[in-house]
Amino acid sequence: MTLTGNNLLGTNNATVLFDDRPCTIISQTSTQIKCITSDKPYVPDSPRVQITIPGMGFVATKGLTFKYVSLWSQT
C-alpha cells in the first residue's frame, strides 16, 4: 500500500492501521508511506483507516477508506 500526503515524517516511523490491523512500514518520507497490509479474515464491519505520526498525532484521511476484499472464488 502506498499512502501519499504532506508532513508524513515524524520523530519515528508512522503507525498505520486498516480495520485495526497493522500495515508494516517498509519506507517513509515526508510525502509518502509504503506499507504491507496484514491478512484479515472476512468480518462484516465498517472500514477504518488510522494513521499516526509520532510527535504530530493523527493524519486527516478526509474520509478515505481501505476495504479488504476476497476473490469471488474463495470460500
More confident residue, 11 or 37: 37
Residues in contact with 53: Cβ distance below 8 Å, sequence separation at least 6, in sequence order: 7, 8, 9, 10, 14, 59
CA 31 from centre of chain: 14
pLDDT of 13-67, one tens digit each?
A: 899 999 889 999 999 999 999 999 988 877 777 888 999 998 889 998 888 888 8
